Amino acid sequence: MEKPETTQTGIGRGAALLLVVVVLVVAFFCFKVLRNPAPSIRPVERIEGIGISRHVAFAVTDSRYRIKRVRISVVQNGRTFNAPVTLKPLAVGKPSHGFAVEASAEIGRRSMPELAQGRATLRVAAVNDSWGRFFRGGRALFRLSVPVRFMPPQVEVLTPQQYIYQGGCDMVVFSVSDGTVSSGVQVGKYYFPSWPVKETGPQTRFCLFAFPYDADPSTSAYIVAVDDAGNRTVASFNYKVFPVKFPSSTFAVPDAFMQRVVPPIMSQTTDIRDQGSLVANFVEINRVLRRMDSGRLVQFSRHTGSKWMWTKPFLRQPNTKDEGGFADARTYVYDGKVIDREVHLGDDLASVEHAPVIAANDGLVIYAGWFDIFGNAVIIDHGCGLQSLYGHMASFKVKAGELVKRGQVIGVSDSTGLAGGDHVHYEMLLDGVPISPKEWWDPHWVHDRITARLAQFQ
């Protein structure tokens, strides 16, 4: 009697187990097809509006599934305008870390002629290859309500005439219409952003711009303004460029000099490799590391404050002799042969050995440390893209993040880095571009071109 019971129970248990398995499989299946394991969508750049034509890009990422499709469209008054989408894979490491693509498109009136001024919704839909939503794939939706504007920004120039020396600066004041998000002066490949004259009215802007030493005097300068919809205006203004004949000099590079400067610089950098000889390493430092350091100065300029921190003209290091002028084209000679040609972009100011080095003006120390060819260097930010650099120092009396006053001692001079003797390599920079320091030392120039001109609009 016991046996069949046991068998019955055995069959009952088997069936129950099967049922449980079936239920689990069905539940798992339902779970897989009913859920929506959506990818994520993030705009690559801030999108503030739509205009004639603009490029939009979105990073679409998924931790498990491949991205199957991305649609970018503009929806306005119940109508949908689809844009052709370009997909490009984004590197995110191993495939086990998921999948990522950049979806981009051109949107605006040029490709969507029936788009009207007013408002519209930018809509991005991304679908992955999961079983979600009954095999249609998990879907994510990104929506952004933005203004639609077709009139480019209006620019009105408020200063009548600009005079500028090659390698030097001038300032133009102009006003821009509502919706303008960026404006500045373009000189060839160089762009100098503008800043608000008053905090209360961001429409009146001043722009300190340089005519860089390496820009041909015939290079055109324009005011450029871009609005939230990506519309761009190019406006001309009155300026006159005075060409400057920059100095040139020849530098003999003796072995003793290279033996002193090359090993310390090589020991501090991982950016350049040992070229096998002292001369080759010198050239690598003088040419390659110098270029890299120019790039770093542009990076530093991005940390500038949004307000000018100074009021008086800049100070020159006291009791100094000018050893090397701005934009001096230097030819380097070793053993009777030309080994390199570089342009020196600061002023070399020498007095006595281990002389105190002073801050040229009020500002914020943004760097104090070893800086390749400049040796021990300090960079002071004076606001609105204007910065000063002090190179070849022995030691520092300040550290990054410290506010300094005009004339305050910031360190002691020496010949660290790529320097032949004890001096301060002083560089003035505008948005990371070296500019002639002389104008900034001249009280008349600073008053007439900068402070008095700006005061008219404040």
Find the binder of Zn ion among 406, 425, 438, 449 (CB under 5 A). 425
Q: By rule CB under 5 A, what count of residues binds Zn ion?
A: 3
| Cβ closest to Zn ion, residue 41 vs residue 418 | 418
> Which range, of 95-103, 239-247, 419-427, 445-453, touches Zn ion by CB under 5 A?
419-427
CA distance 354 to 348: 15
Q: Which is nearer to Zn ion, 342 or 381 (CB)?
A: 342
Stretch of residues binding Zn ion (CB under 5 A), selected from 6-14, 71-79, 96-104, 348-356: 348-356
Q: Which residue is nearest to Zn ion (CB)?
A: 425
Candidates 89-97, 113-121, 347-355, 369-377 — which segment interacts with Zn ion by CB under 5 A? 347-355
Cα distance between residue 271 and residue 285, in whole Å: 10
CB of 389 to Zn ion, least distance (A): 10
User: To the nearest 10°, the Cα dihedral for 152, 154, 159, 161?
Assistant: 50
Binding Zn ion (rule: CB under 5 A), the pick from 170, 348, 381, 431 is: 348
Stretch of 74-82, 124-132, 292-300, 418-426 contacting Zn ion, by CB under 5 A: 418-426
Q: Tell me the three state secondary structure of residue 225.
A: strand
Count the helix, strand and coil residues of the chain and give each as a percent rounded to the nearest 5.
20, 40, 35
Q: Tell me whether residue 348 or residue 362 sits nearer to Zn ion (CB atom).
A: 348
Hey, how many other C-beta atoms are within 10 angstroms of the C-beta on 451? 16
The Cα–Cα gap between 223 and 385 comes to 17
Cβ 371 to Zn ion shortest distance, Å: 13
Q: For residues 171-210, which are near Zn ion according to CB under 5 A?
A: none
Sheet holding 79-83, edge to edge: 79-83, 67-76, 118-128, 139-148
Q: How far is the CB of 441 from Zn ion (least distance, A)?
A: 16
Contact between residue 231 and residue 52 where contact means Cβ atoms under 8 Å apart: yes
Q: Which is nearer to Zn ion, 176 or 327 (CB)?
A: 327
DSSP 8-state assignment for residue 228: T
| CB contact at 8 A, 225 and 49 | no
The upper half-sphere exposure of residue 52, i.e. CA atoms within 13 Å in the direction of its Cβ, equals: 9
Which range touches Zn ion (CB under 5 A), out of 15-23, 278-286, 346-354, 367-375?
346-354
Asked whether position 290 contacts Zn ion by CB under 5 A, the answer is: no
Q: Which residues bind Zn ion (CB under 5 A)?
A: 346, 348, 425
